[in-house]
Each structure stands twice: as C-alpha cells, then as structure tokens.
Structure 1
Amino acid sequence: MARPRSPRLIAVSLAITCALTASACSSASTGAAGSQGDGKGTIEFWSMPFWIGQDDKVQQLVDEFNASQSDVKVNLTQLEWKDGREKIKQAMAAGQGPDVWLMNNGLELDYLKAGSLAPLSDLGYTQADLAKFTDLVKVNEYEDKLYGAPLYFDATVMLYRTDVLEKYGYEKPPATWDELKTTASAITTKSAADGSKISGWQFKGMDDHVNAINSTWESFLCQAGGSLTSPDYTKSTQNTEAGKTTMNYMRSFYQDKTSPVGTSALNGFIDGKVAMFSFYQSVIANVETGGAKTEGKWAVAPMPEGPKSGCSMVGGHSLVANAGSQETKAAGTFMKWLASPERSAQYMDFHAIFPYDPAKVEPAVKAAYDEKTKGDANWTAILEQAGRNTPDLVLQDRHGWSTRWEKQKSAIVAGVNGQSSVDGSLSAIDAEVGKALDAER
C-alpha cells in the first residue's frame, strides 16, 4: 500500500532551518551556485522501498540504470519508511542531503518555499516531456513550475469480498453512500444471525493503521463536497456542513454496530471477516498475500458516490532533485530514466497507476500498458476512480499537512467512534491547522 506521510516530519520547518543556518540549504553547501555539471558524474539517491512487496527492487533498478550507460553513476541509500523522510530532511538542513530522493506526490511545502527543489525544466525535461503526464501531475506544481517527476499515482478505491456479497444476495458492489450503508448493515446483521460474524464495512484507519484515517477521511469529505482549506490555502475549512455530513455518515456505522471499533480493515478483509473497505489501490499487493484466503474471492470497485461526487484522495510518489547539487544534469538523466514511461509501466505490476497519458507514450510502452489492463475488471475500476480525481485536494493538503495529519488521527477517530462531538472534533482540527496555516504566511 501506499505509505501515508510520517507524523515525525512535524519537526522544525525546513524553511526556518535554512534561515537559521545560513549555508545549510544554499547551493554553496553542495556545489557552486547555479552549477549543473556536464551531465557526467556520481549522484546520491536516497529512497524508501517504493516497489510494494519487494524491498530489493529499487536496488535492482539502480543497478540496471548504472549498467545501461557510463556517464552517470548512482549510489543508492535505502531508508526505512518509519523515519526515512525525517532523515532526508535532517540531512538537507545540514547541507548533506542527496542529489535525488523520493517524496510523496504533492511534495512538501517547506522544501518548495525554501527553494530546495530543482524544477523539472532545469533537469532536462522539455515541454514535450511534461505534456506526456496526466493532469494529476499538477499535484507537484508550485508557482507555475513542476518540481516532482511522478513514478506512479495512488487513488483510494473500494475493495469488496465477492464471496461474502454473493452469500448474502448482492450481485454487485454498492455504488452510493446509501447503498453502502444498507448493504454493510445487512451483511453485519445476517452474518451475526448465521454465526459467521462478518462486519459489512470497516473504515481504514479506525483500526491498527490509524494513520490511514487521513486518506480515508479526506476521500469521504471530498465526496460530500468538502474541502481542507479555503481556495487561497489560508483557512482550514473542515467544520462545515460537508464536514458534519461526512462525520455523521461515518459515525453511523459505529452507532448501529455495523462496524466494530478496532477491527483491522485489511486483516479482517483477508480473513473474510470484513466484507468491504476502502484504501489506496496499491493495498491490492497486501490482499494478494492472503493466498487461498483471498484468491478469487475479492474485487475492486470505484468509491461509492457521496452527496456531491465519487472523488477520492490521490497519493503515490515522485522523484525530486536537490537544487543545490553540482550534478543537476546527471540527476535529471537518472530521474528521467527511473520515472520514465517504460519504468512506470513496470510499476503497474504492484497496481501503481500509470502517471502518463497512454496515448502520448511510445507504441511499445502503450502496448505494455494495454497488456496489463486488458480484460482486468480491477484495472477498469481503478482507472475509473483515477479519472474522477483532481489535484485540488492534494494541493490543499500540502498546506499545514503535518499538523493536519497528526490532528486528524485523534480528532476524526474520536468523533467517528463517539468519544467527542462532531462539532468539537471538526472545530479542533480547524483551530490547530489554522495556526499552522497562519505560520506559513
């Protein structure tokens, strides 16, 4: 699955660190100002293992790149998800950061405001290169320039147990909020009566992976027509009618015991004890590890549509380059290779969403893309969901995100399970995030 952003990054803002340690984030700390190199040299690449389920694949890709040419050598430092982003931030603040590293789609505002990232146009990307990306690439835009080359996108979708739905008389998955609630409640009730004890639905994040409540909440808020911030990103806007509608809807699953607090959405789904849940589509890799427990017994559907739409949260990862590197040309060469249409088609092996418009890539790549999606109903659902989504929510989330993601973990869970009032939970988020937004200005 796609890993949500670590709360440990709430540490000191990179922009403030740069201001306090004059040379720490300047190009002089890694090379002469404006130096790009001649396109030949050694670059340092720091990454978490983004190939879901195979931690050694990133090193294999780096080795493949190194063997493919002789001008650029890449040294990989592989970090862990639990603290990798924090280590990169600390290294950058100390003037010892990598030339290229992995960052969540949407990028982090501290780096952008500090001028720490090189725009793709300075890394050898032409307008023709940039035109091949889908519109979702705008999640990496800042002040009219693109700063991240997406490896792949994630989109929150719904997963459902076909065997469970069929057992209780449902031939297709729910397509709306009302249908979701009705179907889930019926499965919970009927399965309790026959001794199966299956939860019809579980919200990812109300379980052992509490950080996931952020993407879950923001997806449902979007479907209710809500937003995270005002259009100018200066005000937190969750305590609204859309926010209350969303929380009351989610809360209803626990009030009537359709969903039990604390049951793992993913593990319960694999064991056949949770009929439906939603998360980024790359969680498919985890479901497939269930072997005989899940094989042929589940499928993917677009998100049930809420009062306003069927949108959902966008995730995934991109490559970014250090603006202060002496080797930005070499860095660009590597980024264009690792984030190329050819490699991105390979990332579809773990159900990563292709970041390019298939109609704009080379015929051989399009053929590989078509081969992976052909006749696969799960890919049809994933691509439908991706087509419903826009960059807007991710661009809002960039502002005050570390404060928001930390506060939502406690406030949303407490509001949904009834430990605090709906108004109190949403007001607490707006108050806390509002301070962070004020500090950004």
Structure 2
Amino acid sequence: MRRGIAASALVAALAATLAACGSSGSGTSSASGPVTITYWDTSNATNEMPNYQAVVQKFEAANPNIKVNFVNVPFDQAQDKLQTAMGSKGAPDVFRSDVGWTAAFAKAGFLTPLDGTPALSDPSAYQPSLIKQAQYQGKTYGVPLVTDTLGLLYNKALFTQAGITTPPTTWDELKADAATIKTKTGVDGFEMRAGDGYYAMPLFYGEGTDMVDAANKKITVNSPDAVKAITTYQSLFNSPGTVKADITTDSYAHMMDAFNGGKVAAIINGPWEITNIYKGSSFTDHTNLGIAPVPAGSTGKAGAPTGGHNICVYAGSDAAHQAAAEKFAAFMTSADSESFIAQKNSTLPTRPDAFTADVKSDPGIAGFQQILSVAQPRPALPEYSSLYTSLSTNLGKIATGQQGIQPGLDATAQDYAKLLPDFAK
C-alpha cells in the first residue's frame, strides 16, 4: 500500500474555505430510487483493493437502497486529489483517509464529525489510541479501519545460517548482525528505506525526540537528540553488510524485491507488505518471516509511528448522502468486515473483537500484534503529515553524502518555521 509518504500541498487547505459545502456530493439519488454514494479507496490496487470491493458488495447486498460508486485512487496521489476535490467540487461522499491526513482535513472544514452518528455508535469498540488519532479539537472525524506500525522484518533462515538466534534490539546490534550475515552468507544483512522521513521516525523516537514538540510548540528536528538520531540513520547506509542508500524512483520496489527474493536479510517495514512478502520465493513458508520491534536508540526504548487508515465522511454532501455514508462507514469498520479484511490483506484490525482465532493464525498479523506496544501515536497537529516533505528531501541528501547532518536538519527546521510560524526554533 505504501509507504513513501507523498509530498503534499495539504497544508494549503488549512486556510481554505469549504467551497463545495452544501452541494449534493458526488453521488446521486431520487425520491423513488436508491442513494448512490461515491467511495474513494486508497488501498493497493493489486493485492488489497479486490478485498475492499468484496466488502462493498456485501454492504450493497445488505443495504439495497444504497449503491456505492467504488473508485480506487493510488495512495501517493490521494492526499492531493482529496484536497483538490473537497476544496472545489467532485469530492467523494466517503473515503479511506490515512490517519496523518484526518486532522488537517478536519481543520479545513472538509469532514463531518461522527460522534453520536451511526458511523460511530460505540467508540469503545475501538482501541482508544486510534480513536484519539481520529480526533481534532475534541471531535471525532474518522472511524478507525486498519492500523499499522513499523517493525523489523527479517528472514529467519538467513539469520540462522549466520548463527544469529535472536533479532537485534538496538541499532548497534543490527549493524553487527548485518556484518555477520554478509560474511557468513554472502547476502546483504540490512537495507533501510532512504530519503523517506516516515521510515526515519524510529531513529527519532529512539533518542526521545520527534520532528516537533507539538505540546510546547517547538521545532526539534535539528536538536542535539535529532542529530544523534540521524547520525545513526546515516550509519545504516555505510556500515559493513548494509545496502548503500537508494533514492531512485523505484527504490521501494528494489528493497522489497531484494527482501522477498532472499538477497537482503532484514528491512524496516509495515504489515501492508505481508501479502506481497508471502508471494516471495523466500517466504513460501510464511513462518520464515520474522517480525520484531524496531531497534532501540540510546534511550533504551524502541518506538515506531502508529499508522493506518480511517473512514471519513465529507461535510459537503447533502443529508441523504451523509446518512448513507455514515451507514457505510459503520459497515466497513464492523468486526466482521475488519476480520475479513485482516484475513485477506494481512492487515491489523482496529478493534479487539476483530482479532479472531482465524485472524491471529496468520503469523504476520500475530507478529505485528505483538509489537503494537511500541507504536507511538502522532500528535493531533494538522500540519504534522506535511512535515515529512522537507525531512524526506534532506534525508535523501544526508544518506547519499550530498549534505551534512546538521546543515540538512537546519534546512528542514527553516522549512518548518514557515509551515509553523508560531513554533519556536
């Protein structure tokens, strides 16, 4: 599904007015016929989308007076396309929103609050931290659909061949293991996603910091702790047994092809890739996939970002379409639907009652469920998702040696000052 976080102009929405508000939305209806709502799906078209389509078909069968116009929008384009559509016309009545987009869309006035509606009749059914992540200024603007985090994915057979019996728990241990694997197997030990700020977050969290301190309105991306984090990050591309930084357009595919084919022993990634990994020659035996928490930094604590998606309802649709969209949101996020999606896509449900025995029998899901304890929710800062753009650009330069660590993070901090003028440097 992911996950180069897309560079986005979403922050422009924060000052926008809801030009399309009061329109009839993108669906159609008549006094005698069914309501047709438009749903924008942002899942991977090859391995995830068909299963979301199956859930939509179940919804239509159970609700004959509601038809769904299913539109798949590539994830890396969806943020900007939603921004444009909701700011003018042609917006979907309901859509699948990355958790990092929800607060910004809510601040812009694009979303309808779902508290007390059929979409969210029982908030306690969902993990509390995920409900909090769907909120802005005390109101809930999304229903949690799937959750995820980053973990250390590793090839158990290659680790065993190298004589390594347990996964590394620190970045230093990871580098040592990578060197051992290269020496004893001839295979690269580790590959890190380069030039993508999202994948660098475990390094920040491991030093007890973040890109910004939202609570105290302070930019921290170039602080001493951040420099320490990115010093470790840079070393992951230059140590024996680790793969050199790849910032080409196809770098993500290169990393996944290498891992799935047994040409690299470990990567950092999330559950959205599990079904694709299972298709790889190294993981026809699914139990060969090892899943562990991301390594810890000098604080001794591991941390990874909490990701996932919410189902959100457009505020510009008329009452009939909003009501149908809310009913659809409830169906998509029901225990039965989330359990079905989890079994088909190997993604993590957002509600405990969807973790059925069949769901937990998938070793990938079971593995990621065990490491959710190190997942760290993002602050409810509308601009937070946009912070990755500058960070990713400068991390790419740092990883490839085109820029020094402090100058690169200082440049990022300067960009943040423009985005967050009321934050102290």
TM bin, normalised by shorter chain, reads 0.7 to 0.9
Q: Quote the Cα distance in structure 1 between the aligned partners of 2:219 and 2:317.
A: 36
Q: How far off its partner does 1:304 sit?
A: 2.0
1:135 counterpart (128, 132, 139): 128
Residues 392-429 of structure 1, C-alpha deviation per residue, up to 9 Å, x if partnerless? x3535x42432x22212221122233322111111111
Alignment of 1:22-421 (within 5 A): 24-26=19-21, 28-30=22-24, 41-49=35-43, 53-121=47-115, 123-125=117-119, 129-137=122-130, 138-191=132-185, 196=186, 198-204=187-193, 206=194, 210=195, 213-232=196-215, 234-261=217-244, 262=246, 264-290=254-280, 292-296=281-285, 297-308=288-299, 309-326=301-318, 327-349=321-343, 350-356=345-351, 358=352, 361=353, 365=354, 369-374=356-361, 378-391=364-377, 393=378, 395-396=380-381, 398-402=382-386, 404-421=387-404
1:431 counterpart (409, 414, 417): 414
Q: How far off its partner does 1:298 sit?
A: 2.9
Aligned 8 A contact 1:247 1:416 in 2:
no
Q: How far off its partner does 1:439 sit?
A: 8.0
Instruction: Return 5+ residue gaps in structure 2 as ranges.
Output: 26-30
Q: How far off its partner does 1:80 sit?
A: 2.8
Q: How far off its partner does 1:70 sit?
A: 2.6
* Partner SS state of residue 151, structure 2: strand
Q: Quote the Cα distance in structure 2 between the aligned partners of 1:295 and 1:125.
A: 39
The TM-score with structure 1 as length reference comes to 0.83
Q: Partner of 1:6 in structure 2? A: 6
Q: How far off its partner does 1:126 sit?
A: 5.3
Equivalent pairs counted in the alignment come to: 403
Q: How far off its partner does 1:217 sit?
A: 0.5
CA RMSD of aligned residues (A): 2.6
Q: Quote the Cα distance in structure 1 between the aligned partners of 2:159 and 2:413.
A: 38
Q: How far off its partner does 1:379 sit?
A: 3.6
Aligned 8 A contact 1:235 1:437 in 2:
no
Q: Quote the Cα distance in structure 1 between the aligned partners of 2:73 and 2:205.
A: 33
Residues 46-76 of structure 1, C-alpha deviation per residue, up to 9 Å, x if partnerless? 2223577143333332222111123322222
- Bigger mean CA offset, 110-119 vs 337-346: 110-119
Q: Quote the Cα distance in structure 2 between the aligned partners of 1:112 and 1:84.
A: 16
Aligned 8 A contact 2:259 2:266 in 1:
yes
Q: 1:13 to 1:108 in 2, by over 3 A?
A: farther
Q: What is the percentage of aligned positions where both structures have the same residue?
A: 23
Q: 1:4 to 1:147 in 2, by over 3 A?
A: farther
Q: Quote the Cα distance in structure 2 between the aligned partners of 1:104 and 1:239.
A: 26
Aligned 8 A contact 1:288 1:295 in 2:
yes
Q: Quote the Cα distance in structure 1 between the aligned partners of 2:24 and 2:417.
A: 36
Instruction: Return 5+ residue gaps in structure 1 as ranges.
Output: 32-36
Q: 1:298 to 1:49 in 2, by over 3 A?
A: closer
Q: Quote the Cα distance in structure 2 between the aligned partners of 1:112 and 1:385.
A: 30
Q: How far off its partner does 1:378 sit?
A: 4.0
The TM-score with structure 2 as length reference comes to 0.86
Q: 1:203 to 1:92 in 2, by over 3 A?
A: same
Residues 242-274 of structure 1, C-alpha deviation per residue, up to 9 Å, x if partnerless? 211211112223333432323733221122221
